[in-house]
Structure 1
Amino acid sequence: MAGDDWRTHAEWLAGKLAEPRSRWWAPIAATPRHLLVPRWWQRGGGSWSLREGADDAEAWMHAAYRRTTSLVTQVGPLHADHASPGDRPEGRPASSSTNPWLVMQMYRFARIHPGHDVLDVATGSGYGCALLARLLGDAHVTSVDIDPYLVKAAGRRLDALGLRPVLLTADATGPLPGGYDRIVSMVGMPGVPASWLPALRPGGRLVTTLAGAPITITATKDDDGGAWGKVEHATAGFMAARSGPDHPADTPLPADTAEGENVRTGRYPVIDLDRSPELAATLFLAAPGIHHGYDEDADGVRTAWMVHADGSWARATGRRGERPVVHQSGPRRLWELLDGIRHDWVADGYLQVYGATVRIDPDGTAHFARGRWRATLPPAG
């Protein structure tokens, strides 16, 4: 888009995300997000198609400056920058420019102020990094990403905007460079990495979501090397952190799941866990690393399944409101675990996960507690 026409859109976005006197208003209003995402993938008709911003300036502005729109930049191993118009990649999104509302939610949870040194985990398009650099100054912002291309492309585009924060290719679950007042993750982590607390200064604050669960953790570092915090009342999630060129694969269901070692009638009807954040979050903390799915056929028959890397799996089938037939196998009975959580939900009217306190040990082990409920999550890495 020629000239400064984009500024109208950026200022509109700033007005949606921040009050006029907020310290964040000016960084949002001054950042041309569209230049950081010149190409992206759009889902439609069951497949992904490439969008080229320069081909339709109006659509580019509409996509780039919407408050709650994440722009998918990579599907499977194919980044939009390297794609041809006829490409139809298969797989799951592996990188994106996170929607601005969620970026700001994470930064507000982090309580970032001028003078802080911030580690931005998952550079992505560089948009969040740009906001940080405008607020804090280049020297106070370090951003890491596992993907060398993302780091290179973001660096080039940020440089064109006059922004030069420190960008590094690194695995955020491994050793981290330097010391920080804030660590904010824009990817879902399997747990709190063991390297984070040593890199966080006393009184520093970390903010992360968990991969596979709608959980946001905020915590402040103590003098003893651990941290205290809580599970925020927020259900947003991010793509899972990856260690290679593609999104990490879910644990697949075993090829033969016809019967299983245990067949029974479930206590409660089949439910889509993606529509019940409290249940999904509590189940994840009861069995970290669990994956789940859901489907409803044309006849209204619902099927839900769960699988864990320890070899446990469960599949439940039934109609709305009916007790399902459940097939299970492996060292744990995953559906019975879910039914137990649902029983607590029915008995108490709510689950304990949101608002729970979190104690993080120096090695990253996280201990959750609220009322009688307890859970422990091992560190990532």
Structure 2
Amino acid sequence: MEWKTHARRLAADVLRPESRWYEPLATTPRHVFVPRWWARGDQAWELRDGPSDSDAWMRAVYAHRTLVTRIGPHHADHAGLGATVFHGDPTSSSTLPGLVVAMYRHAMIADDSRVLVTTGTGYGTALLCRRLGAGLVTSLDVDPYLVKAAGERLDSIGLHPHTAVCDITGPLPGEFDRIVSTVSVRPVPPSWLAALQPGGRLVTTLAGTGLVVTADKTGDGGAMGRIEPDPAGFMRTRTADDYERPTDDLWEKIQGADGDSVTTSRYPLLYPPDAWDVWSMLELSMPDIDYRQAQDGDRRTVWLLHPDGSWARAEVNGFLDGPTVHQGGPRRLWDALERVRNRLNREGTLPVYGARVRIDPDGAFTLSRGSWSVTVD
């Protein structure tokens, strides 16, 4: 199968030829790591089987896009031809290649850096092995099958990093100069600080936000860093086959319910995850909001739900008017969203841009910019 032309085109689409990551991207067969994936259809996730259509396979895996390989507990490798999954969230994927490279760039990896990465399909691990040599790379995942499959696929192209089944939020197997996590955490686990060498750097994203955190280990065993200017979003860490959905019972009760409070918003309807800065600010003040949306013609609806029973539903018909907002439960979630939008409208920016990061040795995590600060639990 002729894949090298496709891989070089992908590298050219993402990087300049002089980049040290160009050759790893141009010489790594991504299709080996993604023989099957789930594509989002109108009503369900639909299985795509690469070997059944090699042309479509090459177009998909060598495009600059994320390919979802697992929905809930349903891994594409184990699904029958023609399979569909109607409900569930992505729980594993082959991440957008340029985003993987961006995370590695944030890590400022040197030629002799010992690097810990998260496994997923193994493609990101392969890129790092091409760049450094497999002997400097350790790749971890909580899912035994993902580690096994990635290890076999890495072996098949001559790459033999250290791999292990491990919960990355717990003790880590060794000491490292860099830790790069393409799963999101909140807060940064203290075990990362224990495993980092003095002066080592960690790169991750905060769960529930679009915030990329870089931080360098300090002499007291903590770390100092910042929020990077480019956003990214990754799946949360998990310890089970699927993520819990603690708001499902609430969702069944309030989809079309009247709220205790009914208002009209001054702003156009917003689905918060589409605006990373607004979404991130709201998540920092009110963690664990579940966002859902629907559209029927010109009628658009957004729901915010929280495990404590708070909820909001904003609905608008057309694009000119502000939405009607119903809210219930102990807290007013849409009002909190409006406060963030008011601040952005008033100041022209939000303090998450360029915020400083402080991680204490015990894992206490603080963001600050000017007079604004927040402790991340």
Give the alignment's TM-score, normalised by structure 2.
Answer: 0.92
The equivalent of 1:105 in structure 2 is 102
**What is the CA–CA distance in structure 2 between the aligned matches of 1:165 and 1:250, rounded to whole Å?**
37
Offset, 1:259? 3.8
- Listed as ranges, the matches of 1:1-381 within 5 Å are 1=1, 5-66=2-63, 68-90=64-86, 91-121=88-118, 123-249=119-245, 251-252=247-248, 253=250, 255-257=252-254, 258-266=257-265, 268-298=267-297, 300-319=298-317, 320-378=319-377
Equivalent position SS for 2:309? coil
Q: Deviations over 1:170-211 (max 9, x none)?
A: 111111111111111111223312321111112111111123
- Confirm or deny: 8 A CA contact 2:212 2:228 kept in the other structure: yes
Equivalent position SS for 2:83? coil
Q: Which moved more, 1:85-94 or 1:305-314?
A: 305-314
Rate the CA distance shift 1:318–1:12 in 2: closer, same or farther, 3 A: closer
Offset, 1:86? 2.7
Rate the CA distance shift 1:193–1:309 in 2: closer, same or farther, 3 A: farther
Equivalent position SS for 1:186? coil
Gaps of 5+ in 2: none
**What is the CA–CA distance in structure 2 between the aligned matches of 1:75 and 1:7, rounded to whole Å?**
29
- Confirm or deny: 8 A CA contact 1:106 1:184 kept in the other structure: yes
Rate the CA distance shift 1:45–1:303 in 2: closer, same or farther, 3 A: closer
Equivalent residue letter for 1:281 = S
**What is the CA–CA distance in structure 2 between the aligned matches of 1:46 and 1:254, rounded to whole Å?**
19
- Confirm or deny: 8 A CA contact 2:356 2:368 kept in the other structure: yes
Offset, 1:120? 0.3
Q: Which moved more, 1:315-324 or 1:349-358?
A: 315-324
Rate the CA distance shift 1:118–1:265 in 2: closer, same or farther, 3 A: same
Equivalent residue letter for 1:12 = R
Offset, 1:216? 1.0
**What is the CA–CA distance in structure 1 between the aligned matches of 2:293 and 2:54, rounded to whole Å?**
38
- Confirm or deny: 8 A CA contact 2:246 2:307 kept in the other structure: no
Q: Deviations over 1:76-130 (max 9, x none)?
A: 2111111111321232221111121111111111111211111102x11101101
Equivalent residue letter for 1:303 = T
- Confirm or deny: 8 A CA contact 2:107 2:202 kept in the other structure: yes
Q: Deviations over 1:134-191 (max 9, x none)?
A: 2222221111111100000000111111111111111111111111111111112233
Give the alignment's TM-score, normalised by structure 1.
Answer: 0.91
- Confirm or deny: 8 A CA contact 1:40 1:80 kept in the other structure: yes
Gaps of 5+ in 1: none
Equivalent position SS for 2:375? strand
Offset, 1:47? 2.2
Query: How much identity, in percent, do the aligned residues show?
Result: 51
Q: Number of residues paired by the alignment?
A: 372
**What is the CA–CA distance in structure 2 between the aligned matches of 1:38 and 1:255, rounded to whole Å?**
37
- Confirm or deny: 8 A CA contact 1:261 1:327 kept in the other structure: yes
Equivalent residue letter for 2:303 = W
**What is the CA–CA distance in structure 2 between the aligned matches of 1:93 and 1:359, rounded to whole Å?**
31
**What is the CA–CA distance in structure 2 between the aligned matches of 1:248 and 1:163, rounded to whole Å?**
35
Q: Deviations over 1:296-326 (max 9, x none)?
A: 433x344322222233222233454545443
| Two-structure CA RMSD over aligned residues (Å) | 2.0
**What is the CA–CA distance in structure 1 between the aligned matches of 2:7 and 2:323, rounded to whole Å?**
50
Equivalent position SS for 1:196? helix
Q: Deviations over 1:50-76 (max 9, x none)?
A: 22222222222211211x211211122
Equivalent residue letter for 2:121 = S
